[in-house]
């Protein structure tokens, strides 16, 4: 019974939102507004590192499709074209 009382209430994470998170893009904070110019039709390889701990993130680049070629620590996958992908929780806990 004592162990059960130590579990977090589902309401404990209600204050966690996108405002609480800050991530870097090539070592720059969001305020730096990192930009890069690419030529039309140029193929660009991006590496997204899962920085979540208890949130799901939907990743998309408006107006562009992406091809997923690797997942989870660089494991090759059959390439699949997507408009967006989701990354998030490394481990799901059940109570």
What are 62-71's pLDDT values in tens digits?
888 899 998 8
Model pLDDT for residues 27-61, shown as the tens digit of each residue: 787 788 888 888 988 988 888 877 766 677 788 88
DSSP-derived 3-state class of residue 44: coil
Give domain status of residue 45, yes or no.
Answer: yes
The answer to whether residue 4 is domain-embedded is no
User: Residue 2 falls within a domain, yes or no?
Assistant: no
Asked if residue 9 belongs to a domain, the reply is no
- For the chain, how many structural domains are there in total? 1
Q: 45, 55, 67: which is closest to 16 by C-alpha?
A: 55
Is residue 31 a part of any domain in this protein?
A: yes
- Output the DSSP codes for 53-69: SS--EEEE-TT--EEEE
92 within a domain of the structure (yes/no): no
What domain range is 33 assigned to?
Answer: 19-87
d(CA 37, CA 8): 45
**Residue of 17 and 22 predicted with greater confidence:** 22
Mean pLDDT, range 4-9, rounded to an integer: 64
CA distance 65 to 22: 25
Check residue 27 and report its DSSP letter. Answer: T
């Amino acid at each position: 019974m004592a162990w059960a009382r130590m579990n977090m209430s589902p309401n404990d994470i209600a204050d966690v939102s996108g405002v609480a998170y800050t991530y870097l893009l090539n070592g720059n904070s969001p305020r730096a507004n990192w930009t890069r110019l690419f030529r039309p039709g140029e193929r660009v390889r991006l590496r997204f590192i899962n920085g979540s701990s208890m949130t799901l993130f939907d990743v998309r680049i408006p107006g562009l499709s992406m091809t997923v070629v690797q997942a989870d620590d660089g494991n090759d996958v059959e390439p699949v074209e997507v408009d967006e992908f989701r990354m998030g929780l490394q481990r799901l806990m059940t109570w």
